[in-house]
């Protein structure tokens, strides 16, 4: 599976390298499925970078009012998230990426389908070349097949007594959703 901790930590590092000091993090409801590695990475980033303003993560951004209250309270200069469901809310408020805030995705693979759901072309164009992590999903699939083939070749059947995990590195992609800060 994806090394979620490293992917999130590196994303924070990359966003901070552009000079962003107030990085907001929107976590999905799946965070429990990845043993809260996303939040752990954010906490480590904040420990390693005491010059950064600490913004508590927002779990899900599906509710417009809840998201905008969080955004107005903490005023992030950049956002990290796996999805774009919040982008229409900021667009409706007159905010544009990257002019008013930066953005990095944790899942490059999902951005095209999310952009396709936007009703307004101007909003979609803001995310044409999104900065963020490619989760290497195809490579992860190949690794899964290799592990299954190994178990078949070794005649390993049933649920193993001890679990094993293969962690897949993600890869950073530069994009137009981040710009150097003063």
The pLDDT tens digits for 43-102 are 999 999 999 999 999 987 788 999 999 999 999 999 999 889 899 999 999 999 999 999
Q: What value, to the nearest 5°, has the Cα angle with vertex 98 and ends 94 and 99?
A: 55
pLDDT class of 158 with cuts at 50, 70, 90: confident
CA distances from 16 to 57, 126, 145, 150 (A): 16, 20, 37, 41
pLDDT class of 3 with cuts at 50, 70, 90: confident
Over pLDDT 70: what percentage of the chain?
A: 90
Amino acid 16: pLDDT? 97
Residue-wise pLDDT for 122-149, tens only, equals 898 999 999 999 876 655 566 566 777 7
pLDDT class of 23 with cuts at 50, 70, 90: very high
Amino acid 162: pLDDT? 82
Considering only 55-64, 81-90, 107-116, 167-176, which range has the smallest mean pLDDT?
Answer: 107-116
Instruction: Decide: 4 and 37 in contact? Cβ < 8 Å.
Output: yes
Amino acid 62: pLDDT? 80
Q: How far apart are CA 90 and CA 123, in angstroms?
A: 10
Amino acid 152: pLDDT? 78
Average pLDDT, the chain: 87
Instruction: Decide: 49 and 118 in contact? Cβ < 8 Å.
Output: no
């Amino acid at each position: 599976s994806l090394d979620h901790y490293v992917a999130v930590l590196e994303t924070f590092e990359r966003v901070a390298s552009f000079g962003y000091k107030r990085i907001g993090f929107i976590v999905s409801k799946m965070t429990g499925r990845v043993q809260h590695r996303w939040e752990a990475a954010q906490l480590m980033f904040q420990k390693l970078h005491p010059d950064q303003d600490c913004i508590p993560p927002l779990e899900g951004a599906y509710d417009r009012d809840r998201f905008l209250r969080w955004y107005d309270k903490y005023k992030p200069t950049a956002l990290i998230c796996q999805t774009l469901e919040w982008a229409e809310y900021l667009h409706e408020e007159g905010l544009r990426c990257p002019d008013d805030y930066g953005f990095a995705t944790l899942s490059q693979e999902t951005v095209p389908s999310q952009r396709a759901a936007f009703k307004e072309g101007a909003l979609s164009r803001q995310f044409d070349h999104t900065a963020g992590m490619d989760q290497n999903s195809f490579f992860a699939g190949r690794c899964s097949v290799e592990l299954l083939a190994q178990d078949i070749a070794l005649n390993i059947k049933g649920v193993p007594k001890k679990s094993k995990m293969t962690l897949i590195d993600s890869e950073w992609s530069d994009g137009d959703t981040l710009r150097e800060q003063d």
